[in-house]
């Protein structure tokens, strides 16, 4: 009879998801506040950015189930946090059935709650978070930042700012490709050293 393996809770993933959540929430809130006139309406339907958030969460969750991977789990955490931030930004809208600027949207509450979560994670699991997040190569960090930018570009597309969205998405793709290329180059050099 096979025994289930014991895997510890990856606190670094929580940290990455929370950082992505806070960045996405504050970024989308700032964008919507500075550009209230920009909305996407197709055939009389207003597409809010929480739909993009739901899609990102569903994608990250599904990929985490069907393709678990230690390396990819960091990417899934970032995409999940990004989607959660898009949804969190529109909680007031969802709860009031239409008032985006409702007091329920509470930037200070979400920022404070996120800060508390991050501090608690760092105080309780600081060594593990540092190991999970900062022990990765600089190439993988560049890859993760690129993936975040590609996902965050959805906020520009959601508001019909396609040129800006393309620029941010392309910058993210270039960063992700550069990170992946550097990562592969490092692996090839290590393999060549081991073979020698």
For 150-173, how does the pLDDT look when each residue is reduced to its tens digit (9 = 90+)? 999 988 988 888 999 999 999 999
- Domain count for the chain, please give it: 1
Half-sphere exposure of 105 (CA within 13 A, CB side): 22
Average pLDDT of the residues in 70-77: 88
Q: State the alpha helices, DSSP H only, in 47-161.
A: 50-66, 70-89, 91-96, 107-134, 138-158
pLDDT of residue 5: 45
Q: Is residue 184 part of a domain?
A: yes
Question: According to the model, what pLDDT value does residue 4 have?
Answer: 45
Q: Does some domain include residue 46?
A: yes
What's the domain range around 17?
A: 11-195
Domain annotation covers residue 107:
yes
- Under DSSP, the state recorded for 10 is -
Local structure of residue 104 (DSSP, 8 states) = G
Which residues, listed in sequence order, are joined to residue 41 by a DSSP beta bridge? 46
pLDDT at position 166 is 95
Q: Are 15 and 78 in contact (CB under 8 A)?
A: no
pLDDT > 50? residue 144: yes
Rounded alpha-carbon distances, angstroms, from residue 81 to 15, 86, 121, 173: 10, 9, 16, 19
Whether 1 maps to a domain, the answer reads no
pLDDT in tens, 13-51: 888 888 898 889 888 888 888 887 777 666 776 667 788
Could you tell me where the beta strands, DSSP code E, fall in 6-55?
41-42, 45-46
pTM of the complete model: 0.59
């Amino acid at each position: 009879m096979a025994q289930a393996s014991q895997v510890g809770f990856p606190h670094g993933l929580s940290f990455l998801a929370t950082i992505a959540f806070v960045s996405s929430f504050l970024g989308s809130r700032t964008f919507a506040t500075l550009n209230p006139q920009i909305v996407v309406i197709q055939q009389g339907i207003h597409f809010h950015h929480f739909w993009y958030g739901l899609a990102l969460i569903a994608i990250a969750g599904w990929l985490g189930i069907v393709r678990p991977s230690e390396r990819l789990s960091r990417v899934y955490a970032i995409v999940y946090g990004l989607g959660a931030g898009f949804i969190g930004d529109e909680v007031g809208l969802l709860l009031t059935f239409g008032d985006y600027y409702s007091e329920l949207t509470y930037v200070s509450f979400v920022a404070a709650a996120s800060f508390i979560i991050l501090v608690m994670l760092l105080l309780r699991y600081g060594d593990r978070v540092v190991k999970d997040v900062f022990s990765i190569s600089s190439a993988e960090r560049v890859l993760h930042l690129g993936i975040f930018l590609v996902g965050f570009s959805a906020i520009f597309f959601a508001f019909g700012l396609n040129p800006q969205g393309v620029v941010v998405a392309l910058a993210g793709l270039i960063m992700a490709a550069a990170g992946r290329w550097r990562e592969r180059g490092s692996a090839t050099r290590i393999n060549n050293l081991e073979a020698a």
